[in-house]
Amino acid sequence: MKQLFLSYTLRALIVATVFSFFSSCSDDHTTAPDATKTGSIILEFDNVAGDDEFTFNKEYTNAAGEKFTTTILKYYISNISLVTTSGTVYTVPQDISYFLVDESVPTSTKVKLSNIPEGDYKEVRYTVGVDSVRSTMPIEKRQGALDMSGQGKDMYWEWNSGYIFFKMEGSSPAINEVENNFRFHIGGFGGYSAQTINNIKTVTLSMGTTPATVRSDIAPEVHILADILRVFSGNRTIELAKNPSYMFSRSSVDIANNYMNMFSFDHVHNDAAHSH
């Protein structure tokens, strides 16, 4: 009987050891990156309003104490770079580095970057807007998110030959007009033949102590929060009652200076396995 008990105990110990071994192997994503391999990374832009998830037509209160609802929210993300923990910078090829985040198109809020060298990335950098070089290229060089007859429809000023970097529309009872509507159409790349407004903004976000581990079989998801309430506050408090329309004017700089700070790193998932 004693021998039988020892046999059971030994068998259980062996099973537990084997299970522990395979479990640790399947969860171990800290293998050194292979310079000859590539993977993918997903930047997920989660639009929020303070501590609440952002929703169209839901009433929020801005920094001036004004109630408002939103019906349109779109912005360009471009010229993306990733920085490893060792300081190496990988820049996404410019031709494939333009994305339009459109709240009305859920799939657009997940920006997937492919063919990224394996590495542990601690920082992401990107532009909010479309740079001057790309804005002035021939139409055939402005495809995908920049296609003015496709994804980029309604995000380009024909009269001003430039993209709208950030578009937000809605209404507020604080606006003393018939329809109570507000419009933020922010653009301006600095001008082609003469100097004009430059609202191109660069955002740098640190991923803290948990880098995004890109491997050939692991596509990390980096969650970025975009707080629309910050569009109304920061560099200058925006009061809809005083000015409900910001377009190609000097005052649009105030909106751009505010919204560049609406982005913050939230967390990263390093356990998302995808093919690329």
pLDDT (0 to 100) of residue 21: 40
Bridge partners, 117 (sequence order) = 38
Mean pLDDT for the stretch of residues 32-44: 94
Selection from 195, 197, 169, 192 nearest residue 256 by Cα: 197
The Cα 152–Cα 67 span in angstroms is: 30
Give percent of the chain with pLDDT exceeding 70.
85
The Cα 98–Cα 110 span in angstroms is: 13
Q: Is the pLDDT of residue 196 over 90?
A: no
CB of 63 closer than 8 Å to CB of 233: yes
pLDDT tens across 67-124, in order? Answer: 999 999 999 999 999 999 999 999 999 999 999 999 999 999 999 999 999 999 999 9
The Cα 100–Cα 78 span in angstroms is: 9
* Residue 62 neighbours by CB under 8 Å, 6+ apart: 68, 229, 232, 233, 238, 240
Residues in the chain: 276
Work out the mean pLDDT of the chain and round it to a whole number. 88
- Rg of the Cα atoms in the chain: 24
Bridge partners, 156 (sequence order) = 163
Of 4-8, 140-144, 271-275, highest mean pLDDT = 140-144
Give percent of the chain with pLDDT exceeding 90.
73
pLDDT (0 to 100) of residue 273: 56
* Residue 120 neighbours by CB under 8 Å, 6+ apart: 33, 84, 85, 211, 212, 213, 214
